[in-house]
Chains A and B, each alone.
Chain A
Amino acid sequence: MNKMEELLILVNQVLEGNGSVAIKSIKETDKLREDIGFDSFDLAELTVRIEEAFEVDVFEDGIIEVISEILDKINGK
């Protein structure tokens, strides 16, 4: 499983938990709020799940808005 697929699972865990429908795919250009529909609580949950899975605090030094920014952090860029 690549990083993108792992990330999709985490995004769907947040979506299904808040009563939304799981999505089939994500793109690097997807925006977390506009395209995926996250609010601030969802964003917080996602950062926690990413930290558990990848041991990276994606929010550490700035705001994350797009999927590609998360991938950069996970890949240590």
Chain B
Amino acid sequence: MENKLEEIFYFNFKENTKLSYSDVLNHVIQVENIETNYSFSSTKEFLLNLIASLYYNTNITLQDLNKVSKNEKSLLRLLDVNRPSSFKQLLDGINKSTAKIILFTSGTTGQPKEIKHSLSNLIREVRIGKKFEDNVWAFAYNPTHMAGLQVLFQAFLNANSLYDVFEHPKDEVVKILGKYGITNISATPTFYRLLVPMKHSVLSLRNVSLGGEKSDANLHQRIKESFPNAKILNIYASTEAGTLFSTSGKYFKIVSDKSELVKIVEGELLIHKDLLGEVNKNEGNIETWYKTGDLVEIVNAKTNEFIFTSRKNEMINVGGNKVNPSEIEAVIDSIEGIEKAFIYGKPNSILGNMLYARVQLKNKDLTEIQIKRILNSKLDNFQIPRRIEFVESLSLTRTGKLKRNL
């Protein structure tokens, strides 16, 4: 039983072999070494340090954790020195942790918003038990995002192996799925769009879930053909609340344990604050009901079934990442030589939407590549407009705001 962490640990412990905690954790979180110029090699370090930070009850922002991962004196090394006596003790320590994990999300005002999540809030939807103990996970999300954390804890708390496939080339992903008998994968529609159709189907997959952006029937069909034994699930999760709904069919359903905490008002999904992470006090008063900005349509009032239709606010979903156009415009406007920028999303066959910018210059010196290079140091990859068009003037609405609908 190669994937049974407890057994490995016990075995080595009994044999009196020295086994460091990073060795034990490394057994859960695995990264296939890929000799290419693109690999997300820090994923593993990052996740290991996240687990160590919980064990040491350290409040941590995921951005900071990225830095810790690259630092010699990482939390993980601390964990190695003060070794818990068993994996169970490690799990207990983490379960009792009152540490907060801090994530940032695009606020509707244009300022990034800080959200603190306790572990109990993050693992609300994690299922633990015998049924899950032989699961083998492919890790296909950005680890610094909510969905990535959900997968990490689902796998870790069941002592399942986790193989990193995030942004790996298709060939490598296919190889990893086959080689390790992956049973579970959760990813954005963008990930699947770049993976299926495949030459050969993979039979080991039992659960395949999609989340983060709208998917379509065509993509479902292609996934079904590639993973014929898998149950396909749609997941709705947010940085503010974590996982809220999942469905294997077309419709989402408000289940009875959440019926008091979720409601639909004027077509918009509202979440009770009890389901949310803690929002920084400086962000202003959080009301009892949080407006998600996601518009839904009830398809069956009796069974509480609904579908997501569109977004109420201006957020643009880029490959599963929500982007606030005003936030990006503010950054571009601050570049020397730029008069005004306008950001919009355009449907794209890979990312769902791709970001475009229209830019009005003060002088004619700046090029598209120069602007993008400046933005590379100021914004996340998914926030950078991929096509920049220069215009003489931008059309404004009567109130002086930029016209959102082209």
The answer to whether A44 and B37 touch across the interface, beta carbons within 8 angstroms, is no
B258 within 8 Å of A (CB atoms): no
For residue A55, CB closer than 8 A to chain B, the reply is no
Contacts of B169 in A (CB 8 A): 31, 33-34, 65
User: Could you say which interface size class chain B belongs to?
Assistant: 20 to 34
Residues B38 and A47 in contact, CB atoms below 8 Å apart = no
Contact of B354 among A48, A57, A63, A65 (CB under 8 A): A48
Would you call B349 and A17 a contact (CB within 8 A)? no
Q: Please tell me which one of the listed residues B38, B348, B354, B382 contacts residue A38 in the complex, with CB atoms under 8 A apart.
A: B38
Give the docked Cα–Cα distance between A49 and B36 (Å): 25
From known contacts A34-B36, A63-B170, A63-B194, infer whether A16 and B350 are also in contact, taking CB-CB under 8 Å. Answer: no
Asked whether B225 is an interface residue with its Cβ less than 8 Å from the other chain, the reply is: no
Taken residue by residue from 48 to 62, chain A's Cβ proximity to chain B (1 for < 8 Å, 0 otherwise) reads as 110000000101101
Query: What chain B residues lie within 8 Å of A59 (beta carbons)?
Result: 349-350
Convert B358-396 into 0s and 1s, putting 1 for each residue whose CB lies closer than 8 angstroms to a CB of A.
000000000011001100100001101011000000000
B228 an interface residue at 8 Å Cβ cutoff? no
Contact B36 A40 (CB under 8 A): no
B368 touches A17 (CB 8 A): yes
Of the candidates B190, B376, B384, the one whose C-beta lies within 8 Å of that of A40 is B190
A39–B321 Cα gap in the complex (Å)?
15
Q: Which residues of A contact B348 (CB under 8 A)?
A: 44, 47-48
Task: Encode A8-42 as 1/0 by CB contact (under 8 A) with B.
Answer: 00000100111100000000000101110111110
Knowing A17-B369, A37-B37 are in contact, say whether A45-B387 is a contact too (CB < 8 A).
Answer: yes
> A13: which of B38, B319, B369, B381 is its contact (CB, 8 Å)?
B369
Taking CB atoms, residues of chain B closer than 8 Å to A38 are 38
CB distance from B392 to the nearest CB of A (A): 20
When distances are taken between beta carbons in the complex, the residues of chain B under 8 Å from A41 are 318-319, 351, 381-382, 384, 386
- A40 contacts B350, C-beta separation under 8 Å: yes
Q: How far is the CA of A45 from the CA of B170 in the complex (A)?
A: 18
Looking across the interface, which residue of chain A has its beta carbon closest to that of B40?
A39
Q: Which residues of A contact B190 (CB under 8 A)?
A: 40
Q: How far does the alpha carbon of A34 sit from the alpha carbon of B35 in the complex, in Å?
A: 8
Contact A37 B349 (CB under 8 A): no
Shortest Cβ distance from B386 into A: residue? A45
Assess whether A44 is in contact with B354, with CB atoms less than 8 Å apart. Answer: yes
Q: Beta-carbon contacts of B165-203 to A below 8 Å, as 1s and 0s?
A: 001111100000000000000000011011101000000
Residue A71 at the B interface, CB < 8 A? no
Q: CA separation between A27 and B271, bound complex, in Å?
A: 52
With a cutoff of 8 Å between Cβ atoms, the chain A residues found around residue B197 in the complex are 62-63
Task: State whether A40 and B351 are in contact (beta carbons under 8 Å apart), knowing that A34-B169, A45-B386 are contacts in the complex.
Answer: yes
* B38 adjacent to A40 (CB under 8 Å): no
Alpha-carbon separation in the docked complex, A19 to B379 (Å): 13
Chain B CB within 8 A of A4 CB: no
A37 to B369, CA, bound (A): 18
Is B319's CB under 8 angstroms from A57's CB? no
Interface of B toward A, CB cutoff 8 Å: 36-38, 167-171, 190-191, 193-195, 197, 318-319, 348-351, 354, 368-369, 372-373, 376, 381-382, 384, 386-387
Would you give 20 A-B contacts (Cβ < 8 Å), ordered by A? Answer: A17-B369, A17-B372, A18-B381, A19-B376, A31-B171, A33-B169, A34-B169, A34-B171, A39-B167, A40-B350, A40-B351, A41-B318, A41-B319, A41-B351, A41-B384, A41-B386, A63-B194, A63-B195, A65-B169, A65-B170
